[in-house]
Structure 1
């Protein structure tokens, strides 16, 4: 009788260590666990993450390319929380989202708009005590859906990077603004998209996103207190 071959074992899924390290360090940068101006030590970070120095070095280079870090001697430091730079990031976000909205008004399918509508309805039911960080995630998800509906993958890629870089400030703002105000503005934006009114949609988005200098200063001041003094 022929011998039956033993079943092959399924090989274990190979974890992409480099990508995992990058995502973990990016989260640390977003949350300012890496303090503004802090010079980063590859050896210390590798020990902290339980990996070799190579994926840490690669991740730090990528984070510098994406705007989270600046070169410091032969290494990198966490970029400072800066008023002018934060305003620049909001202006960039406003420009990118305005173009996404214009294109979405022209190109988005009815099915894509229905999906955005369904998302807004489901996210409206989050509990009152939902954390600011989760509310910002929901807000980003709404705006990224409009970017996806624009049909331009490069605009969406840029928007995601901008969202990562201003996320900490947006957490601070969301704690002050709250969800109801944001939801109401999202509804108006969606209504303009449904009407295929690109001009109205762009105007609503610009009003929704634009921040004044005093608002940025206030958010950065609160953010620095959160980072260094552990104030709520």
Structure 2
């Protein structure tokens, strides 16, 4: 199925083709994606309404998150993802648990590839969401993760964070496999908390602002 202009632009932001602060030009987008300018214009207006884009004079740029927005996002994400893990422990099929385990096993081979690990991390979390078997929760988490795309690069490059994150993923999967919803929720919430702490330390050390560090999980 052919993607519309809105989805094409959103995917480009999510994939890091366009990063926070990058200017989006209607004519250039139309040429890049091989569509007319009218659907591109409508897509840009929609993304601006959703606060994925911001005004910089007369130009539209990819938005970034300030410290307060980032903190709010992590609070919501921690609670929604904890709920997803709790439901996954109750509803996930054995095949889904095996897929999650395979993801962790494969991701340990990506520890020297922070960008690849970041993409794999997003896939892992989305698989946990799907294992909740709750379409409304998945929809809400998709919106939250869309906002995470407004963070530019990966803090999984921080020494030791990648390996620690995978160990945290393992604790989540172990709890889901055992059908222990409370343990799964606690493990997921702790995982998000440690990721947020990593980001705060980076900001405090002056290595980046909220708008310049990507998903730390």
TM range (shorter): 0.7 to 0.9
> CA RMSD, aligned part only?
3.2
Query: Normalized against structure 1, the TM-score is what?
Result: 0.73
Query: Normalized against structure 2, the TM-score is what?
Result: 0.77
| Greater RCO, CA 8 A, separation 6+ | 2
What CA distance in whole angstroms lies between the structure 2 residues aligned with 1:128 and 1:193?
Answer: 24
2:134 aligned partner: 152
Question: Structure 1 residues 74 and 158 mapped into 2: Cα distance closer, same or farther (>3 Å)?
Answer: farther
Give the greater-gyration-radius structure (CA). Answer: 1
Which stretches in structure 2 are left out of the alignment for 5+ residues? none
* 8 Å contact kept, 1:102–1:198: yes
Shift in Å at residue 148 of structure 1?
A: 0.8
2:182 aligned partner: 199
1:162 aligned partner: 144
Which stretches in structure 1 are left out of the alignment for 5+ residues? 1-14, 227-232
2:121 aligned partner: 139
Question: Structure 1 residues 221 and 172 mapped into 2: Cα distance closer, same or farther (>3 Å)?
Answer: same
- Report the number of matched residues: 207
Deviates more, 1:45-54 or 1:198-207: 45-54
* 8 Å contact kept, 1:101–1:201: yes
Q: 5 Å matches for 1:99-178?
A: 99-124=83-108, 126-130=109-113, 132-167=114-149, 169=151, 171-176=153-158, 177-178=160-161
2:81 is aligned with 1:97: yes
Q: 5 Å matches for 1:1-232?
A: 16=2, 19=4, 21-30=5-14, 31=16, 33=18, 35-36=20-21, 40-47=24-31, 49-70=33-54, 76-124=60-108, 126-130=109-113, 132-167=114-149, 169=151, 171-176=153-158, 177-210=160-193, 211-212=196-197, 214-215=200-201, 217-218=203-204, 220-221=208-209, 224=212
User: Counterpart of 1:169 in 2: which secondary structure?
Assistant: coil
Shift in Å at residue 174 of structure 1?
A: 0.9
Question: What are the superposed Cα offsets for residues 138-162 of structure 1, whole Å, 9 maximum, x if unpaired?
Answer: 1111111111111012212222332
